[in-house]
Amino acid sequence: MADQTLIIDIQGYADDSGNLIPKEVAWELLSGTAEMHAIIRPPCSWQQLSSKSRTVNDYLEKNELGIKWCYPGISHDRMAQLATHIPPEIQTDCLHIRLPDAELAQLMETPNGHLSM
């Protein structure tokens, strides 16, 4: 049986409350039998962000992501549809998700184990 381990990578920006706004999402089975990559369009214009968020996101764009806030992509609604249609060959009882350090720390400190995204 092929390795059914699923690797999920989510890169993104932060909103005014510090919540993750996904910009790039990719997943792949280690077996190489299924993969997906998507760039997600921003939920609002750059000008609608607070000055603090623009500063933080400008840093992320230049030093972490390399993808501009305004880079076109699929809608957040479409990404949600794609994320809920996991290929049948993936056994969803054992998914390993790697989160950015800040979100991982938040998850570990949250009693119910849920992130606010």
- Tally the domains of the chain: 1
Strand (E) or helix (H) holding 58: helix 51-60
- CB burial of residue 6 (10 Å; 0-12, 13-18, 19+): buried
Which of the two residues, 17 and 41, has the higher pLDDT score?
41
Condensed to tens digits (0 to 9), the pLDDT of residues 53-96 reads: 888 888 888 888 888 888 888 887 887 777 776 666 555 554 44
Which of the two residues, 48 and 14, has the higher pLDDT score?
48
Quick check: is 1 in a domain? no
Quick check: is 115 in a domain? no
pTM of the predicted protein model? 0.62
Host domain of residue 65: 6-109
Quick check: is 74 in a domain? yes
Quick check: is 78 in a domain? yes
Quick check: is 73 in a domain? yes
Alpha-carbon distance 25 to 17, whole Å?
21
Quick check: is 67 in a domain? yes
